[in-house]
Each structure stands twice: as structure tokens, then as C-alpha cells.
Chain A
């Protein structure tokens, strides 16, 4: 089944409330996906600064030593901020270089996200517990996208939880399942050099969008192309550094509802997820049409 919730704040005066508004949205989707949960938050982008979110199950993992090793190799200061099983590394660097350094490391570390404003946190467990563990309610930022998972095609693991990030600042959550992800994933690995970390079909969708963006498409154009290249059933919610987009497959089996006011755009699997948002009673509420790309910001 799975549940999706996304909140994009149009009014910067509301950035401080992002986590507080977003957490009840995701929690409300708990019975659509109680296995695991994850969320992406876009916050605090700094010009020329990169952020990498990493995961390690070992509570004693020495993140400071990792940051120092990276700093020594790359020749820039690297700071580290620990949140539960995750850590965010910050440096004045290119996110791709930091990612490449981490991919060379042996044993490899699990990279949750890379970019300039994106941070992704995900874990096994009830959505409420996952949100609390990372202090999501206190987070500020411009937009957040989350997912509650009821696993169907791959194991219940932290890595298998959504959102997925495969290129700088892009993240994707997915309700549904793809039927041609092996073929598309193989092609992206061999022909486009996209690196996948899991067997998950949704990661392939994220990789596909990353490849299209790298080829110069806007996120809206990349999603248009996905309509013909990705086979299966899906509702996607996608975040970029300053944009937010939603797409349903042409049959639209999987639910989705959108709401918009002057202050925000919100998307969820069901209306009840949006019911607590300020001003929702006056919001424009509608169901996204099948095979139609909806996007906001610089998407």
C-alpha cells in the first residue's frame, strides 16, 4: 500500500513551521505503511556548500574520524552533525566529489542523500517513532517529502525505505510498483553510470530522473519522459532543491490528493493527511489527473 505526504511552503515566513506542519501529515499515513518511514527535508542551502547524509546502524560509529579523514583528503574543513543513526556532513565542496570519496571508501557507507539543501532520514518502525528519533518536528526548511512503507517488492530495511536520492538534491517517494525496473536499472547502470544502492524499484525511478536532469531536462520534462519509459503503477512525489512535483501513472490506481493555498502546496495519499494544515478549509483541493505532471517552484 504505502503512504505519501509532501509539503512545499510558498511563503518563506512559514519556513520555521515546516517540521511542525509536516509531522502530523506523515503520521496520519501510518496505517498505509507501518513497516518503515522516511522523510526528506530541504533546508539551509548555502552557496557552494554541500551536505551528505549518511547512515550507520552502529551507535558508536566514529563520524568525527570520518569527517577528519575526508577533510584531509579533500583539503577543506568537513563538519559533522549526528542525528540518531544518521549523520550529516557539511563542507564547502561539490556534493558529487564528497559522494565519490565516500563511494571509494572501504567498507562503503550507506549514503542517504547528497546535495546542497537536501537531507534524508529513514528507519524501520512506526512513522511517529521515526519522526521523533530525528527530531523532525523541530526542523525548519522550505519543503519536506515523506513516505510510510508497506513493503511489497523488497525487504523491510532502512535502505529499502523511501525517499530515494540518486543525484544532487533530487529525492523521490513512490506509492505503487514498477514492472520494468530491472531493465531500466540495468540500462542506467551500464549506459548512464547511475549507482544504485538497493534492489528497490523506486530507487530506479529516482535514478531515471537523475539521468534525465543530467541530460538537461527540467523535472517536469523528466517526469513527462518517465510516462513512456517507466512501466507500472505509481504515484510519485519528487523534490528538487527549489521545486516540488507530483505524477500519477496513466491508469491512476494509486491515490493522491493535492491542496493549495497562498502559503503552501500539500500532497498526500489521502485527504486526512492534509486535514490539519492551517487554512485547509479554504484551500483548493483536488485529485491530480492521471499522466499529468504537476510542479511548483523551480521544478
Chain B
């Protein structure tokens, strides 16, 4: 037992959890914890908006596979975090958000900068804590980290009243904690694995659908081993993009609204679908009722509540993806030798793949999103981390940017948060400074959090913003073009800003690339730069994303051109 203040206990507990960096902004209600940071080796990154602090912690957490930490003051500081917390929740990203709160005696009195952040965040966090005494803090921090990173990861909020931060008390740092209502299922039920094995062995047209769970449990080798053992083609959800090398002969790419044409066509032809760490979101499978009626479905997920939530399945396997795939591969290798690649299903797959090539038409301009992304892939090392904003930029990335090294891609796939990619890329850079980190952006999204350029410079976190600038909210414009008879409203971003000047104003680097040659040079320059680089690539506002599955329709109704 040692005597210390609540904020001392907090910072010490964070250090014990291995926290080396926090993203945040101070204010009245969290000044005590900030003061304590001055006596710690934990690095503080000052953001320009708390939303970005949460996205940075999120990006950091997704790459490190342990909770990223963000700090905000009470009231507006806390509410500014909300979008970032919601984004992390929807994508099961580990995060611990720590907010200051008004003193205990003021709670419930509508005090200055008081806000019921726990009420707001309950539906978008795994759990929320509010320590009511300094002595509770060490245990709460330990529980918070454990909850955030174990099982199906997610954000945890710790809301600490200011006087609890200041209170001096005898505290102990527990080595063991127990949460009796929480015990993630890690190991799969062997009977269910055996049933899955039987189904897979009988399948004539098997397909793997890899989701975000493969990333989270880092099951890339296991996935590849399974696919290669039975020669099963692999589609991914968008969140699963890059769970399987996209240049692999068995890779068909992402399915869904902006999935690859061959993936959408072939998944619905399969007779046994192995869904791994995927939640059958409407974005991935289109209409729930229509999807997968003719196939048997095996569903591996660590979250039992995902089984049957959107789709009734034939064989549920509740467990950690990696542990489950290991069990599956182990059982399968006892039963079969490695399959050859000459079955009718794989032949059919290759035929469909050939026939679908014509679907991916290019736009006539010299410089287009598609060509730019192909160029970026050519020049970017495969270990580079790539993230995106939201909109056409994201969907083009889904379609035209192959992830070769598993685990190097993430995006706001669940909440679809514009403004996520840039701060998240900064968080990723902090987690892995030795590799290039690129945010593939649209101008509308980048606008939302571009002030994080200041962070890239001041905190030496040089990332690359690959800005496909169509001077509009392109995705919305495309929908208005397709579904609202070109009645455009609220999409025009021609007012600027000049992103090259914006970058320069923050002492970062801005380069405009108006031809493929200039783009080539710009990417090379950016990769060598020690400040963040914004590559501004003017593209045609009418370059659409195709193929496309319209909302509310099934995968078979994919539209391939306007």
C-alpha cells in the first residue's frame, strides 16, 4: 500500500499497463492528471481536436493490438471524443479513453462543463467506469485495459471526477482482477470444429469469408494454411481487407457494396461458406434474407452474440479466430492431404475472374483514382501501413489497392467516419515509426481533421496524405447521380482550400500532382520526406466507383456502370 493522489495512481497504473504515449487535450477537469504526466516518461501528443485524439489512439491500438489511450477534459472535451469512441466500438478497436469530470459534489447539478459522458457512451463502449475514490483507480485501470483488449476488443471509458484525481489516499496496485460477468470464450468447442471439418470436406464449392476478426487475433498464417490446404478461395469483408494477401492466387478481394465483382458473384455461388470473425454486416452481404439461402454457413466468432444476429448459421464456432483456425487445420490435416488446384470450382473461379476484368473500366482522364492507386501500390513497400478516409476514396482503395502484407490495412469500416483516416494514420505512425504510413483521402474527409497536420510536425509523426481531390463530396455526388437523377445538393467543395498551401501553412510538405509523372515523383519525394506530405491529386468529379451494390439490394444485383 502506498499513499498517492488519484492522478498519481492513474499515471502509475497506465505505466504498469505499458502505456508509453497518450493523445489528448487538457482542460479544467483533467489538469491534475496532466500535471502528473510532467513527472512521467509517458509521451503526450497534443491534438487540435479531441475527436482526433480518439482516432489517433484507435489507429495506434489497431497496429499495436493493445489499447491506445486518449485524454480529454469534462464536458466539451468528452463529447468531442464521442465520434472517435463510436468509431472504435464499431470496428472492435482496443482503446482506453480517460476523461476528467466535475468534482463529485457537483455531479448532477449541471455544473460548468459537466456532461453525463457515461450516459452518452454506454452504447458505444465495452464498459464505462467512474471511480468514486482514488483508491479505486488502480483496479479500474487494470480492468479497463483487460476489457478493452481481450475477447472482442473495444473502447473503455474511465471518467474521473476532478477531486478524485486530487484526493490522496492509500492505494494498492492489484496483480489479479476478477470480473465475474466477463469471460471471453477463447477455445472453440471441439464438436463444433468437427462439424465444420465435415462440412468443409464435403463441400464442392467452398468459400472463406475473412473478416476483421482475423486481423484482431492476428490469424494470418492460420488462415493462409487453411485456404491452401483445401484450396479454398478467400473473399474478405471490407474490414477483413488484407487479412489474406490480395496478390495470392486464391484471393478474390473484398465483397459487398464496393466489393470486387468476382467476389460478389462467386460468394453467392458457394455451397459452404466459412465466415471467420465477420459479422454479416449489410455492407458486406447486402440484403440479409437474400444472402446465403442456398449455402451452408460455418461461423467462427469470439463474440457469441454475433452468432445468429444477422444470419442464422449451420455450424457456430465460438472462440478466438486464431485458436479456432488452428483447431480446424489440425483436425483437417489428419483427414486430408493438401489438395491440388485442378478442381472444377477453381477452374470456374478463374473463368469468372477473367470475364469480370472488363467490368473495371477506367476513366478517360490521364490521371484517375484507379491509376493513382495502382501507382501508389507500385511504389509503396508492402510493409507500409495504409488507411483511408470515407467515401469514394475508400471504395477505390477497396477495389484498386491490393494489400499484400496482411495486417497493414485498416479503415473506419463500421461507423464510416469521415476524418478518421488522417489522425488514425498518425496514431499508426506512432505505433510503428519505422514504416511509411499513408492515408488515402478525399478532400471532404481530410477537411474534417486536417488540423492534425500540426501534430505530424510538432510531434514528428510524418505520414503521407494521398488526397484524391475531386472538389466534392464525391460519394454523395455519385449517389445523387445514380439515385436522384443528378439533382446535386450539398456536395460542392470548389471553395477549396488549396491543400498544398494548407500543408505548407503547418510547415508540412504539399505537392500537387497533375500527371502520372508528377505523381510518381511526388510519391518518391513523400517516401523520403521527414515531414508529413500531402499529395494533392486533382481528379474528375465525375469519376464514379464501379462495380457497386446499391443499398437495400442483394449482391447479385451489382451495378457495373452508370
Does A associate with B in a complex?
no
